[in-house]
Chains A and B, each alone.
Chain A
Amino acid sequence: MRDQPALMPVVAWVCLLLSWQATAGELPKGILTLDGRAAPPLLLENMDGASWDISAARGHWVFVHFWATWCGPCRREMPTIQSIFPQFDPQQLEIVLINVAESEDTVFGFLASVAPDIVPLMDSDGLVTERWQPRGLPATFFVDPQGKLRYLALGGRPWDTPAYLDFIKGLISR
């Protein structure tokens, strides 16, 4: 009995390690862990003409999503982003859509019916997207509260399904 207190730190450490391994092993399909380098600059205007700067988004996670209307997987994925959009407090997770080099009419023609709650940022010449180097479209980066790139979602993902919702909730609860 007297040995138990001495074992407590070891038990706690083992539990922590197992918990970390479980978390690391439970990434949903198509989510890659990144190396934590600083997110590239991102300063764009949205379709209302308001500027958004990622450097002002410290202190919470940011879901940075690159897309275009001509990309089939982007179109299939977008309703799932609209579905999760109201579920997260922007003070914990800010969802940011970046349209790649399309006109306002094209973007509005699609997004108004599919994701009307989200006012997209417009990368009008596509150069900001090229600096971020996504592995194709669509692509979603998760930027941590310190402005570091932590995860990348490959292609379109069903964000409104439990595996992905749990993953996001796990991030913001850290």
Chain B
Amino acid sequence: MTRLQRISPWSARLWLAGLIALTPAFAGHAGEVGTGAAPIAPAPVSPVQQPPGPHYEDAQMSVRIVMRTPDQLTAFYLGREFNRAAIAKILDTCFITPIIHNKTLDVLWLELDAWQFSQGDRIIPRIKRDYWPDKWREAGLAQAHQSTFGWTLMPEVRDLRLDEGVGGSVVIPMQSRPFTLTMKFHTGADRQGPVKTVVFEDLQCVTNQP
């Protein structure tokens, strides 16, 4: 007896993607168009990938700082289908992406309010999460994209456990001159351990290379 099976949309799409990949006329183009039919999408630019940048490391922790060019930010958020108006709001600011790893401590506390951006004696105020909802309303950014944006920001507070890492963007107003980032980290489950301080000097908001 022949049994008819309902093919689910997921299975049908898999089957179609396989067919397109195996068809010579389409195979060479599948990866280039980057649509849903392409079985292999181009690798996205991710804020948490790790190109070279200022770096600090000791036995207990490591920190790498990545500065994103406007082109990199545009490519990343356009790739996530953000609209141009939203991307313009992002490019008005300066994104710094630290990547932190707790190598050996029981708990390493990430607390963005314990970090300071400065130029000489002048403190540069950090742009916090509550800055963005008004900007997204003005730009007409969909809720899904607002959610994605939130996940690309560094958490405000995180008790980083042994071998836990975190990466994300910290935002300040655009700066034309170099600045210093002073990071303080409490340690220990009760935050009563020694405070670790890491300083990065001469950081710059980057522009596109000519």
Residues on B with C-beta less than 8 A from A68 are 148, 151
* Pairwise interchain contact A49-B14, C-beta atoms closer than 8 A: no
* Pairwise interchain contact B151-A112, C-beta atoms closer than 8 A: no
Residues on A with C-beta less than 8 A from B188 are none
Given A30-B164, A137-B151, do A70 and B17 touch, yes or no (CB 8 Å)?
Answer: no
Number of A-B contacts defined by CB within 8 Å:
99
B14 to nearest A CB, angstroms? 5
* Pairwise interchain contact B155-A69, C-beta atoms closer than 8 A: no
**A137 to B38 alpha-carbon distance, docked (Å):** 24
Chain A contact residues (Cβ within 8 angstroms of B): what range? 35 or more
* Pairwise interchain contact A136-B41, C-beta atoms closer than 8 A: no
B20 to nearest A CB, angstroms? 11
Residues on B with C-beta less than 8 A from A46 are 10
Q: Which of A57-65, A80-88, A118-126 contacts B (4 or more CB under 8 A)?
A: A118-126
Q: Who on chain A is nearest to B79 by CB?
A: A70
Q: Does chain B have a CB within 8 A of A171?
A: no
B15 to nearest A CB, angstroms? 10
Q: Which of A6-14, A17-25, A100-108, A162-170 contacts B (4 or more CB under 8 A)?
A: A100-108
B140 to nearest A CB, angstroms? 15
* Pairwise interchain contact B35-A109, C-beta atoms closer than 8 A: yes
Given A71-B46, A124-B144, A136-B151, do A48 and B9 touch, yes or no (CB 8 Å)?
Answer: yes
Q: Does chain A have a CB within 8 A of B208?
A: no
Residues on A with C-beta less than 8 A from B41 are 69, 106, 109-110
Interface residues of B in 25-52 (CB under 8 A from A): 34-36, 38-41, 43-44, 46, 48-49
B149 to nearest A CB, angstroms? 9
Q: Does chain B have a CB within 8 A of A154?
A: yes
Contact of A126 among B49, B148, B164 (CB under 8 A): B148
**A113 to B31 alpha-carbon distance, docked (Å):** 12
Q: Who on chain A is nearest to B48 by CB?
A: A72
Could you list 19 examples of A-B contacts with CB < 8 Å? A30-B163, A30-B164, A47-B10, A70-B76, A71-B151, A72-B46, A75-B43, A101-B148, A102-B144, A106-B81, A108-B13, A112-B39, A125-B143, A127-B143, A135-B158, A136-B168, A137-B151, A154-B163, A154-B164
Return the 7 tightest CB-CB contacts between A and B, nearest first.
A126-B147, A105-B36, A109-B41, A101-B144, A101-B147, A48-B8, A125-B143
Interface residues of A (CB under 8 A from B): 29-30, 32, 46-49, 68-73, 75, 100-106, 108-110, 112-113, 116, 119, 124-127, 129-130, 135-137, 154-155
Interface residues of B (CB under 8 A from A): 8-10, 13-14, 17, 34-36, 38-41, 43-44, 46, 48-49, 76, 79-81, 142-148, 150-152, 155, 158, 161, 163-166, 168
Q: A71-B48, A106-B36 are in contact. List 18 more A-B contacts (CB 8 A).
A: A47-B9, A47-B10, A70-B44, A72-B48, A101-B148, A106-B41, A108-B36, A109-B40, A113-B40, A125-B142, A126-B146, A126-B150, A130-B147, A135-B155, A135-B158, A136-B155, A136-B166, A155-B165
